A and B are shown apart, each in its own frame.
Chain A
Amino acid sequence: MSLDLIQMVLATVLAAATPLVIAALGELVTERAGVLNLGVEGMMVCGAAIGFAAAVESGSTLVGALAGIGAGMALSALFGLLTVGLAANQVASGLALTILGLGLSGLVGAGYVGLKREPAPHLHLPVLSDLPGIGRLVFGQDGFVYAGIALAIGVSWFLWRTRGGLILRAIGDDHTATHSLGLSVRGVRFLAVLFGGACAGLAGAYLSLAYTPFWAPAMTAGRGWIALALVVFASWRPARVVGGAILFGGATVLQLHAQASGIGLPGQLLSALPYLATILALVLLSLGRRRGGSQAPAALGRDFTPHR
């Protein structure tokens, strides 16, 4: 009995962590290429709105997820054009993207407020999913969760085990030197930005298609920003992103349970916990980092205009 309860709690933690993992992994690749895209929140919320709209219209969760990915990529392409193509300020462009995304998502989602869909189907394997204690946790999740895990492994493998990953990291550390070597700095950066957008869009689609599963205006509620903080917290390493996201997911679930059980603390304080925890995590990280120096890609946030 208690084993099933633990399993249930762990499953909700995993569900809360999944959007953070997906969005943060995308942003990690973007930042490893040297581009800081602060528009994660905007891309994510657009992915949620457009993903939900497409799923309702087509009746297919898969189409919804793909539409969410497409929405994130379209917005990130605008951002890439601005910052990689035109060397505009990355911080300001990212903020513009967030504001634009929040507005666009409201426009698209307006006709879908109040609608509900069946949540994305969960995996069910005949014997394995019914194993007591771990069956549902390991073999009974929806496709997004497995996609998130595959993404973490894939990103890790790509960045450290392939030539492409080496080039991407080199460009993020020194765009002048890599440009001199004849590598396409702006081409790689643009692709990295697109990948980040696709992931943010998918993370948003997860929220509206599997996590809630409905659309509500501004439903991302700062998760895009928490994903950005996670990348810093994880020192730009995929495995640590997963660990950090599970910690944050745990904090979210804890807060929800505390709110439901009514333990005397004001609800607003509990709601503020994820944000306070983010600040605390960043502080603790920088305290620990003082010995090792900064882990950030050296060219992060600096614009690049090739001299010919």
Chain B
Amino acid sequence: MRLDLVPRGRRSALSAALSPALAFLAAVLVGGIAVALMGVSPAAAFTVYFVAPLSDLWSLQEIALKAAPLALIATGLAFCYRANLWNIGAEGQFVVGGLAGGIIAIATHGTEGATFWILPAMLLTGTLAGLAYAMIPALLRVKLGVSEILTSLMLVYVAELLLDYMARGPLRDPAGYNFPQSVTFDDAARLPYLMEGDTLHAGVLVALAAVLLAALVLGRSLFGFEMRLVGASPRAARFAGFGEARLTLMAFAISGGAAGLAGIVEVAGKIGQLQPTISPGYGFTAIIVAFLGRLSPVGILLAALVIAVTTIGGEAAQIDLRLPLDLTRAFQGLLLGLVLAADVFTRFKVRLVPGAAR
């Protein structure tokens, strides 16, 4: 038996849009079987995972709060992945962004007088810190040819340990009864809430604006075109005189900056202080989001919402149905694999040829 891949002459826009949806359906199907094997009714699990999160205002806010950092990081990553650059260290850039921005909030804690500049300074610092942290793997790749995959990932562990040290050591609240956390930020260092007495904060708007900006840059500018061309055909890009080194640095700067911004938005919005850990793995989940959204900003926005729903649903399922959180993670990994497989079916006709030699 032989597996043949015959390239399709024309790729229809419909199949390109449908393939992630089909992959999602297939993942839900496999997930349902797994849930049934664990002795829980798949119908009940489906309700908890996908329906319940959409049915009350509180969890809708939670979805928006989870989707915002995912969309923001994934949009940045799309620039890298389009250009065939593999920044898988967004988690570290997120943490460093949150840490650097948070330090400003702690340093200005209790400031009297004009405080309007604190929040913008925090957001800017967080973004720049994430950007700078992403420059390490980018420069190592451009200058020395070191694989950016490994260095960007190793730096995640380093960033997490750095935050852990800072939150337990130098930045710990001296009046905090030895709890490993910083002072609670002043109101001037917090993102304002969009609704009175609720959890939805302005960070969601920051993320939305950044994604829209990215859509314009990627789709409508020369820079976006260069980025896509380098990934699609590096040879053509070289002949066209597009500097590969410059594009590498730019792609990492964008993705690192976006992850750093997402980090400080999380700290200044949801958390409101520095803790030993500030991310439930947003930087890694965003990789799934980027591919699920087919590396386009609008698709990423949709994918971020879908993943956010499953994450909120996963937390509820842990309490209501005693289904472990790892089920959600396995589901997300499976989903990414299926999305990649589905993509192949849009590019090729896949045929099994029985009886043929391999």
- Complex CA distance for A294 and B3, rounded to whole angstroms: 33
Q: Interface with A: B10-18, B143-151, B197-205, B255-263, which one?
A: B143-151
Taking CB atoms, residues of chain B closer than 8 Å to A88 are: 340-341, 343-344
- Complex CA distance for A222 and B156, rounded to whole angstroms: 10
- Complex CA distance for A110 and B334, rounded to whole angstroms: 19
Q: Interface with B: A6-14, A61-69, A264-272, which one?
A: A264-272
Partner of A107, one of B158, B330, B350: B330
Tell me the chain B residues, 101-160 only, with Cβ under 8 Å from chain A: 140, 144-147, 149-151, 153-155, 157-158
* Total number of residue pairs linking A and B with CB closer than 8 Å: 143
- Complex CA distance for A260 and B169, rounded to whole angstroms: 19
Flag if A283 contacts B337 (CB, 8 Å).
no
Q: Which residue of B lies closest to A90 (CB)?
A: B340
In addition to A88-B344, A97-B337, A222-B157, 8 A-B residue pairs with Cβ atoms within 8 Å of each other are A78-B337, A86-B348, A88-B340, A89-B340, A97-B333, A217-B326, A225-B150, A272-B158
Flag if B157 contacts A96 (CB, 8 Å).
no
Taking CB atoms, residues of chain A closer than 8 Å to B48 are: none
Given A97-B333, A107-B327, A272-B161, check contact A225 B153 (CB 8 Å): yes
Q: Which residue of B lies closest to A185 (CB)?
A: B358
- Complex CA distance for A306 and B150, rounded to whole angstroms: 30
Task: List 17 contacting pairs A-B, 8 Å CB cutoff, sorted by A.
Answer: A88-B343, A93-B337, A96-B288, A96-B333, A96-B340, A99-B288, A99-B329, A103-B329, A107-B330, A110-B326, A187-B358, A222-B157, A279-B151, A279-B154, A286-B140, A289-B145, A305-B5
Flag if A103 contacts B328 (CB, 8 Å).
yes
Tell me the chain A residues, 279-294 only, with Cβ under 8 Å from chain B: 279, 282-283, 286-287, 289, 294
Mark A215-246 against chain B: 1 for CB-CB distance below 8 A, else 0: 00100001001001100100000000000000
Shortest distance between the CB of B115 and any CB in chain A (Å): 32
- Complex CA distance for A282 and B145, rounded to whole angstroms: 10
Flag if A283 contacts B140 (CB, 8 Å).
yes
Partner of B340, one of A93, A99, A283: A93
Is the C-beta of A82 less than 8 angstroms from some C-beta in chain B?
Answer: yes
Taking CB atoms, residues of chain B closer than 8 Å to A275 are: 154-155, 157-158
Taking CB atoms, residues of chain A closer than 8 Å to B155 are: 275, 279
Given A106-B324, A282-B150, A305-B348, check contact A95 B287 (CB 8 Å): yes
Flag if B169 contacts A286 (CB, 8 Å).
no
Taking CB atoms, residues of chain B closer than 8 Å to A104 are: 326, 330, 333
Partner of B326, one of A42, A107, A282, A289: A107
Taking CB atoms, residues of chain A closer than 8 Å to B151 are: 279, 282
Is the C-beta of A100 less than 8 angstroms from some C-beta in chain B?
Answer: yes
Flag if A228 contacts B150 (CB, 8 Å).
yes
Residues of B contacting A: mostly: helix
Taking CB atoms, residues of chain B closer than 8 Å to A38 are: 149
Mark B265-297 against chain A: 1 for CB-CB distance below 8 A, else 0: 000000000000000000010011001000000
Is the C-beta of A184 less than 8 angstroms from some C-beta in chain B?
Answer: yes
Taking CB atoms, residues of chain B closer than 8 Å to A305 are: 5, 7, 348
Flag if B336 contacts A99 (CB, 8 Å).
yes
- Complex CA distance for A300 and B169, rounded to whole angstroms: 44
Is the C-beta of A258 less than 8 angstroms from some C-beta in chain B?
Answer: no
Flag if B358 contacts A266 (CB, 8 Å).
no
Tell me the chain B residues, 332-356 only, with Cβ under 8 Å from chain A: 332-334, 336-337, 340-341, 343-344, 348, 350
3 closest A-B pairs by beta carbon, nearest first, are A103-B330, A100-B333, A106-B326
Partner of B333, one of A103, A272, A278: A103
Partner of B150, one of A78, A85, A232: A232
Flag if A271 contacts B161 (CB, 8 Å).
yes
Residues of A contacting B: mostly: helix
Is the C-beta of A169 less than 8 angstroms from some C-beta in chain B?
Answer: no
Is the C-beta of B165 less than 8 angstroms from some C-beta in chain A?
Answer: yes
Is the C-beta of B210 less than 8 angstroms from some C-beta in chain A?
Answer: no
Q: Which residue of A lies closest to B154 (CB)?
A: A275
Flag if A82 contacts B340 (CB, 8 Å).
yes
- Complex CA distance for A95 and B333, rounded to whole angstroms: 8
Flag if A101 contacts B337 (CB, 8 Å).
no
The count of residues in chain A whose C-beta lies closer than 8 Å to any C-beta of chain B is 53
Q: Which residue of A lies closest to B143 (CB)?
A: A286
Q: Which of B288, B334, B344 has the most CB of A within 10 A?
A: B344
Is the C-beta of B237 less than 8 angstroms from some C-beta in chain A?
Answer: no
Taking CB atoms, residues of chain B closer than 8 Å to A272 are: 157-158, 161-162
Flag if A91 contacts B86 (CB, 8 Å).
yes
Flag if A87 contacts B145 (CB, 8 Å).
no
- Complex CA distance for A53 and B61, rounded to whole angstroms: 40
Is the C-beta of B242 less than 8 angstroms from some C-beta in chain A?
Answer: no
Is the C-beta of A153 less than 8 angstroms from some C-beta in chain B?
Answer: no
Flag if B150 contacts A99 (CB, 8 Å).
no
Partner of B146, one of A95, A105, A282: A282
- Complex CA distance for A305 and B341, rounded to whole angstroms: 14
Tell me the chain B residues, 79-99 only, with Cβ under 8 Å from chain A: 81, 86, 88
Q: Which of A97, A229, A308 has the most CB of B within 10 A?
A: A229
Shortest distance between the CB of B139 and any CB in chain A (Å): 11
Q: Which residue of A lies closest to B343 (CB)?
A: A88
- Complex CA distance for A252 and B279, rounded to whole angstroms: 26
Taking CB atoms, residues of chain A closer than 8 Å to B320 are: none
- Complex CA distance for A267 and B147, rounded to whole angstroms: 28
Given A232-B150, A268-B162, check contact A294 B145 (CB 8 Å): yes
Flag if A100 contacts B144 (CB, 8 Å).
no
- Complex CA distance for A276 and B139, rounded to whole angstroms: 16
- Complex CA distance for A105 and B329, rounded to whole angstroms: 10
- Complex CA distance for A8 and B42, rounded to whole angstroms: 53
- Complex CA distance for A21 and B53, rounded to whole angstroms: 46
